[in-house]
Amino acid sequence: MKKLMFLLAFGLLGIQLAQAQSPSTGGFGIRGGVNFFNFGGDDVSENNYTNRTGYHAGVYASIFASSRIAIEPGVYYSVKGTQNDDAVNSRAILEYVDVPLLLRMYVSDGFNLFAGPQVSFLTESKFESDFGGSTVSIDTNSIKDTDMGLVFGLGYNLPKGFNVQGSYDLGLTPIFENSDADVYNRGFKFSLGYTF
């Protein structure tokens, strides 16, 4: 409940800040797209795991500090995890609420570079596999409730308020609870957004 209240307060603050901007210098927007995530770290065997396709969707506020620099808080629902190409097609499905705080630098009228910290709150985690023609799903409490990381990427503003971007999430917190395993959330996101 505390997490939900925090996220709602954060979202309302972002909307109010965005509404204080003029249309030419900032605004409130929606963004969504596709994820390609995997587990990374020294304790992950790259031969066993491949990228798992998921998605993300949420809202952001673009707050310009100058004509070329903007601060962008956001709140996104994001499905991450990994895929194991074994006999039972096992996979981890991890659902988070991502809260990034990005610094966006415009290198031209359209192109921009961005980076910043991100905290992610786990909402659901499960392991699935295909067995005997059906899917077996097991909820798990072995994943930590909070994940910290960095986000960085490249974006481009299209006409009429639309924007596209590609980014990389670099997880910095080991994801397993009560474990010394060096395993992190790592993955790419490709997004389409619209600023009102």
Averaged pLDDT for residues 76-98: 88
- Residue identified by tokens 């396709």 is 53
Residues 119-129 pLDDT 10s: 999 999 988 88
Domain ranges of the chain: 28-195
| Cβ neighbour number for residue 81 with a 10 Å cutoff | 25
163, pLDDT greater than 70: yes
Residues 49-72 pLDDT 10s: 788 899 999 999 999 998 899 999
- Residue identified by tokens 């707050």 is 63
Instruction: Give the pLDDT band (50/70/90) at residue 18.
Output: very low
Structural domain 28-195, CATH architecture: Beta Barrel (2.40)
Q: What pLDDT is stored for residue 179 in this prediction?
A: 81
Q: What pLDDT is stored for residue 19 in this prediction?
A: 44
77, pLDDT greater than 60: yes
43, pLDDT greater than 80: no
Average pLDDT in the chain: 84
Q: Answer for the pair 97, 88: CB distance below 8 angstroms, yes or no.
A: no
CB neighbour burial string for 103-123, b if at least 16 within 10 angstroms, e if fewer: ebebeeeeebebbbebebbbe
Cα gap 55→52, rounded to integer Å: 10
Residues 3-15 pLDDT 10s: 544 454 455 454 4
Give the contacts of 170 (CB within 8 A, at least 6 positions apart): 149, 150, 151, 152, 184, 186
Averaged pLDDT for residues 179-189: 90
Give the contacts of 23 (CB within 8 A, at least 6 positions apart): none
45, pLDDT greater than 60: yes
Q: Answer for the pair 25, 64: CB distance below 8 angstroms, yes or no.
A: yes
C-alpha to C-alpha distances, 105 to 55, 151, 172, nearest whole angstrom:
25, 14, 23
